[in-house]
Structure 1
Amino acid sequence: MTRTMEWAARGNHMRGLPRKMVIMAVGAFAKAVGNLFNTTTVHNADTLINLVRSRPPGVPLITVSNHMSTLDDPVIWGFKRFPIFDPNLARWALAAEDICFKNPLLSYFFRVGKCIPITRGGGIYQEHMNEALERLSGGEWLHTFPEGKVSQEDVPIRRLKWGTASLIVRSPITPIVLPIVHRGFEEVMPENFWFGRRPPFPLCNKRINIVIGEPMKFDFPKMRQMAISMSCNLPNNSKGWPSLSPYGLDEAAQRCLYMIISDQIHTAMESLRSLSKKFYEAKSLKSGDLEEERTS
């Protein structure tokens, strides 16, 4: 499989002018939706801003978040003080090929906007995952939605797909991994607004709450040993995965390793989800008290 419009994703494409235009236009949209038409509250924003602006040279960053709507990215980056207009600091994102790359015009737009097409169901070793690894090897920032699809129900984080875990393990330079959880986007862009369809424009006067965690720590030597031990009891259901170098992990051990890492990320995200719910409910209670004061 050839890489979709990879030439448009290069930083020197037309001297970077299309990328600057798209990043600035999308950034303005995100700022308007998140701050002008709605209210966004961010907890621990400085951690993300510092990692985007000034992490150690050459060290990649992977942010992971839940997926509440089609607007999560880019509006999640539209909060105050975030450098959303700088194309050099903008994230790379894994984007569903069947949604964002349906025709040449959309493909060009999302490619210029630093998106990497991913075929859902195509496996973690599909061609475009190699492109994501190349971005990480260059010390860049990559955002993923490890749940794999939108979920607007107020329920625990679903089981995570293994793609993000595989990128963490296979990256030539171990990335910083930062979990993020948000709520409110399901009200800004509800999936079933009118006859089972989304609204034509984002809704207004909603509250968006974003909780940013702390960088995660992984004990990779211990995790690899656990994966090898666990894999001894698994059947050999081969998908044709290559041996994982330089550790020489076979396919069964890789599956176990990716599961262990995904479970740790899931635990971190679920903890943030609980915290987000508390913040959101506290804000609602405070808003209700203020409204009572005005009317009394």
Structure 2
Amino acid sequence: MGRKMEWAGKEKHMRGIPRKLVFLAVGAFAKAVATLLNTTSVHNADTLIRLVRSRPPGIPLLTVSNHMSTLDDPLLWGFKGFPSLDANLARWVLSAEDICFKNYALTYFFRLGKCIPITRGAGIYQEHMNEALQCLNNGAWLHTFPEGKVSQEDAPIRRLKWGTASLIVRGHVTPIVLPMVHSGFEEVMPEKFFLDRRPPFPLCNKKIKIMIGQPLEFDIPKMRQVAISKSRGDHLFSSTTSRGWPVISSHGLDLDEAAQRCLYSTISQQIQTVMEELRSLAKSS
């Protein structure tokens, strides 16, 4: 399918008209569901809107959130005041290949919607992760669901997959990392509504809550040095079965697989801790 129709995701494809039409339609749908059919409250919305609209040129934005339903994206961006109809400002997002790219029509549609196919279980160095990395290197906004799959349980944030951390480390410029946590979408689009199936349309009169945190700062050069030292002295990282990861060279340092594991684990734990704090804040408010 031509590298999953990567050409259809290009900004200049048919002068950008199909992409604009998709975002007008999907953005209007998201706003209708999030603001008209349901009640959405957002904590710290101004921070997200500011970073989407006017962050420094060339600085990428990486937002991360929990994953409560198959409609988290685009409904996350449907709240009042967010520029969800603007294709130029819209996020790129990692999307499950087995759901969004099952045939030509779906692949074309989701490509126009700035979605990047990810094969679950194929590892953090699979082909299209390089496409996601390129988006960040271009200074774009990328959203990920680092838990890796939908979970509608009222439970703590699960251990994050390391793909998001690898993008933070490998980027030419360290992205602004903005954690988010939401609830309510599991009621808008429950996985088991009738006969263990999702409803054909989003449900109404539900309360959606979106908690947006503060940007996280990662001193990657320093963290690389710490990871190299720690991985050499930590039996847990050095003895783990090799997956054949490539050595990463940056800032004059080479990261072997053990150092990468150590670094990705550290970054993921920091993001997960903040997400869990946001989840606890949401439950208490």
TM > 0.5: yes
Q: Secondary structure at the match of 1:127?
A: coil
Corresponding position of 2:7: 7
Q: Does the aligned pair in 1 maintain the 2:69–2:151 contact within 8 Å? A: yes
Q: Per the alignment, in what secondary structure is the counterpart of residue 84 of structure 1?
A: coil
Distance between the aligned counterparts of 1:107 and 1:26, measured in 2? 15
The one of 274, 285, 294 equivalent to 2:280 is 274
Distance 2:190 2:47 in 1: 29
1:192 Cα offset (Å): 1.0
Q: Percent identity?
A: 73
Q: Which aligned pairs between 1:1-296 and structure 2 lie closer than 5 A?
A: 3-232=3-232, 233=235, 234-235=238-239, 237-246=241-250, 247-279=253-285
TM-score between both structures, scaled by the size of structure 1: 0.92
Instruction: Please tell me the root mean square deviation across aligned C-alpha atoms, in Å.
Output: 1.2
State the secondary structure of the residue aligned to 2:77: coil
Amino acid at match of 2:267: I
* Larger Cα-atom Rg: 1
Take 2:69 and 2:144, find their aligned partners in 1: how far apart are those partners?
14
Partners of 2:206 and 2:87 lie apart in 1 by 28
Note the residue ranges of structure 2 that are not aligned, 5 or more in a row. Answer: none
Shift of 1:278: 1.5
CA offset at residue 217 of structure 1?
1.4
Q: 2: CA distance between counterparts of 1:129 and 1:262?
A: 17
Quote how far apart the aligned CAs of 1:241 are: 1.1
Mapped contact 1:147–1:159 kept (Cα < 8 A) = yes
- For 2:97 and 2:19, the matched residues in 1 are separated by 20
- The 1:236–1:66 alpha-carbon spacing in structure 2 relative to 1, beyond 3 Å, is closer
Distance, in Å, in 2 between the alignment partners of 1:121 and 1:215 is 29
Task: Please list every run of 5 or more consecutive structure 1 residues that lacks an aligned counterpart in the other structure.
Answer: 280-296
Deviation at 1:239, TM superposition (A): 1.4
CA distance in 2, matches of 1:167, 1:73: 20
1:200-239 superposed Cα distances (whole Å, 9 cap, x missing partner):
1100000000010000012324422332233222215221
- Provide, for residues 61-100 of structure 1, a one-character-per-residue CA deviation record: whole Å limited to 9, x for no partner: 0000000001100001000110111110000000000110
Q: Size of the alignment, in residue pairs? A: 279
Q: Distance in 2 between matches of 1:237 and 1:206?
A: 46
What's the secondary structure of 2:246's corresponding residue? coil
Give yes or no for contact 2:174–2:220 (8 Å, CA) kept in 1.
Answer: no
Distance apart, 1:276 and its partner CA? 1.0
